[in-house]
Amino acid sequence: MSKQANLDPRNFKPAIVYTIYIAAPPEKVWEALTTAEFSRQYFSGHAVEVDQRIGGAFIMRTPDGALHISGEVIECEPPRKLTVTFNVNWPALVERLGPTLVTYTIEPAGDVVKLTMLQSHDRDISDDILSGGCAGWPAILSSLKSLLETGQTLAIKMQPPERMLAALKEMGIGTP
Amino acid sequence: MDEVFKALADASRRSLLDRLHAKNGQTLNELCDGLAMTRQAVTKHLGILEAANLVTTLRHGREKLHYLNPVPIHQIGERWIKKFERGKLVALSELKRQLEKRDE
């Protein structure tokens, strides 16, 4: 049986879709999405590690080195498309919410690139739970754009939204 | 950024964004449902919103879904709202929301 038997991206419906145009080559955007050196600067100090092959590990560590996201590479077409399972490492989260897929697509658009980020789920997820991604991704993507275009990141202090933490707690999901 | 402001300077287009904010990922048919706008007008407005990067469309199976893309609005916020003001603005909005809720 294939490792991704239950993880056909076609069974996942995007819940959050964000698009940003970045004045940088596709290869540079890909590098920024897949290396810790960059991610630490725009992803609230988190370090990404990707084994760039189907079935390879995708992980993200908090600034203190703790495992925050653990996942697997589902689609990998450098420098155009990366799909990974993006499971937050909070107790019982995957059991209750199912897996989360994150897809990045990088398309040339004239002299710039169009970066689209999808957060997809295989079931309906409440707005309260989605509020975390809705709050976080625009800041992360804006900071990534700023870093690649100007070398400066945006100092955005991010906290998980209260409504998301309350909804997770209600579902019996542990939060830090 | 001009395109974003032009796209937002129209009540019909803002109402389409409101509908996507209430329910993200709708088809053209769903978006037209219950609106006093022709399908043609909705299509035109969605085109302007998409050109301004306020709406992103995506193929999902046979459907074309429309998603609200708040990234340009976030960038406008980053441009004019100072870091230390953010907490105070959130508190003020929350105060307004709470006070107005009581009047309902």
- Among candidates A10, A19, A155 on the partner chain, residue whose Cβ is nearest the Cβ of B69: A19
Kindly state the tokens that stand for B67: 């998603």
Kindly state the tokens that stand for B9: 């300077």
Q: Please report how many Cα atoms fall inside a 13 Å half-sphere around the Cα of residue A52, on the Cβ side.
A: 13
Residue A136 CA: distances (Å) to CA of A72, A143, B12: 21, 11, 28
Rounded distance between C-alpha atoms, residue A160 and residue A139, angstroms: 13
Rounded distance between C-alpha atoms, residue A109 and residue A113, angstroms: 5
Helix B11-22 to helix B39-51 angle (10° resolution) is 80
What confidence score (pLDDT) does residue B88 get?
80
Say if CB A137 and CB A117 are below 8 A apart: yes
Cβ separation B70–A18 shorter than 8 A: yes
- In sequence order, what DSSP letters do the residues of A68-94 get, joined into one string? EEEEEEEEEETTTEEEEE-EE-STTHH
- In sequence order, what DSSP letters do the residues of B18-34 get, joined into one string? HHHHHS-SB-HHHHHTT
Confidence band for A1, pLDDT divided at 50, 70 and 90: very low
**Range from A48-62, A66-80, B87-101 carrying the lowest mean pLDDT:** B87-101
ipTM of the modeled complex: 0.71
Provide, as residue numbers in chain B, all residues whose Cβ is less than 8 Å from the Cβ of A154.
78
Q: Which residue is it, tokens 């991010």?
A: A158
Confidence band for B104, pLDDT divided at 50, 70 and 90: low
Helix ranges (H only) for chain B are: 2-8, 11-22, 28-32, 39-51, 71-80, 83-103
pLDDT tens digits, residue range B21-76?
999 999 999 999 988 899 999 999 999 999 999 999 999 889 999 999 998 988 88
Cβ separation B71–A17 shorter than 8 A: no
Cβ separation B60–A17 shorter than 8 A: no
A115 touches chain B (CB under 8 A): no
Provide, as residue numbers in chain A, all residues whose Cβ is less than 8 Å from the Cβ of B70.
18, 134, 138
A173: left (phi over 0), alpha (psi -120 to 50) or beta: beta
pLDDT tens digits, residue range A106-158?
999 999 999 999 999 999 999 889 988 888 898 899 999 999 999 988 777 77
Query: Helix (H, G, I), strand (E, B), or coil: what is residue A96?
Result: helix
Query: Helix (H, G, I), strand (E, B), or coil: what is residue A57?
Result: strand
Provide, as residue numbers in chain B, all residues whose Cβ is less than 8 Å from the Cβ of A19.
53, 56, 69, 71
